[in-house]
Amino acid sequence: MKDFRSKIQKLFRAKNPGIHVRNEANFPARKREPRPCGRGNLFQKQKGFTLVEILLYLGLLSIFLLVATDFFVTTATFTVESQTTNFVDLDSRLIFSRLRYDLLRADSVSIPAAPGQTSPSLSLFINGQNFSYSLVGDSLTLQEPTGTFALHSNQTKVTSLIFQRIGNPTGLPTIKFTFTIESARQDNGGSKQKTVTSTVSLR
């Protein structure tokens, strides 16, 4: 086969001296290189996340969200409980201070009228004007010449109120008062409650 091809080439050169015939021995055939197909080269290493890595990331993210949620809920609950306790403490001090202030400057006490008597209300005379304390529903109210108003905020309520007159009939009146105040809003531990008792003598 090679001899036959050589003879053909010599014959072709003899008839066409200006044309050179390619010699396969001197010009080896080129190897075909693989062409990329699709969006990327199949022969290149592709980068990405495995299913195990994705599941691991999702698990860590779930744990982080659970911890963060529990922290925020605990913080919010603690804040609400602190605010509730502060309302009860503040309103109890306001009621105590106003009762003591009016009793110290009162001229006389009309209710309770006699020593040993108890009453859910208190009536005083200050500079000839009447001041009355009473419980209306869950609100401790003061009625004075300028009007009637509550002695605490709407965040608390007074559940019990009692006044007792003690001392001798001829001496200055002494009033013992007791009231229970609690939060209007309940949390997980229930409502916050506080009972205040004090004794004040007229001057």
Domain presence at residue 99: yes
Does the pLDDT at position 193 exceed 70?
Answer: yes
Domain containing residue 186:
76-201
Q: What DSSP assignment string belongs to the chain?
A: -HHHHHHHHHHHHHH-TT-PPPPTTTSPPPPPPPPP-TTS-TTSPPP---HHHHHHHHHHHHHHHHHHHHHHHHHHHHHHHHHHHHHHHHHHHHHHHHHHHHHHT-SEEEES-STT-EES-EEEEETTEEEEEEEETTEEEEEETTEEEESS-TTEEEEEEEEEEES-TTS--EEEEEEEEEESS-BTTB--EEEEEEEEE--
Candidate ranges 3-12, 66-75, 124-133; pick with highest mean pLDDT: 124-133
Domain presence at residue 106: yes
Domain presence at residue 42: no
> CB–CB of 129/185 below 8 Å?
no
Give the residue from 196, 175, 197, 198 showing the smallest Cα distance to 103.
175
Does the pLDDT at position 202 exceed 80?
Answer: yes
Q: What is the pLDDT of residues 143-187, one digit of tens each?
A: 999 999 999 998 899 999 999 999 766 678 899 999 999 998 877
Does the pLDDT at position 13 exceed 90?
Answer: no
Domain presence at residue 125: yes
> 17 falls in which pLDDT band (50, 70, 90)?
low
- Determine the Cα angle at 112 with ends 109 and 116, to 5°: 120
**Structural domain count of the chain:** 1
pTM of the model: 0.62
- Per-residue pLDDT, averaged over 9-30, amounts to 60
Domain presence at residue 56: no
Domain presence at residue 8: no
> 22 falls in which pLDDT band (50, 70, 90)?
low
> CB–CB of 143/134 below 8 Å?
yes
Domain presence at residue 38: no
Domain presence at residue 22: no
